[in-house]
Structure 1
Amino acid sequence: MKPLNDDLSDVGAKELLTPEDKVMAHSGITLVVINSVCGCAEGMVRPAIRRIMADESIKKPGSVVTVFVGQDLDATTRL
């Protein structure tokens, strides 16, 4: 699953791996990305997040976090 996680962490998304990971540790907007191995994530979600984060003309959220459904079960449940 590392390459699928790297798609998002490479553009600044923080992976939530445990329920103790801080999700809303700042004021402002947090973009939460639910990552998975399904075709929707591969074909649409991860490419869209990479494009948003790379586009200098788009205002970015204060933070971007991601959980991997089916892998980080406790973090997903907490979120």
Structure 2
Amino acid sequence: MEKSFHRFTDLFAQLGLASDPASIEAFLRNHSPLPDDVRLADAPFWTASQSALLREEIQEDADWAEVVDQLNAALRGPVA
């Protein structure tokens, strides 16, 4: 089975967050850098359902896993 390609904006929409570029940049700026000892799904700014989605997608290496990894990396580094 072929995996679907999801964009960063799609993930934000799936998480119920504003998904326009300015809102994504503001989210990353407000929540970065995420400490190395905090797993993405365990970050304090997620709702329970957002945490569950992120955790499941990574554990199952599902369609969204690649873009979830991108979000994780974006939250670990400085926002330009």
Instruction: Tell me the TM-score normalised to structure 2 length.
Output: 0.31
Of Structure 1 and Structure 2, the greater strand share is in: 1
Of Structure 1 and Structure 2, the greater helix share is in: 2
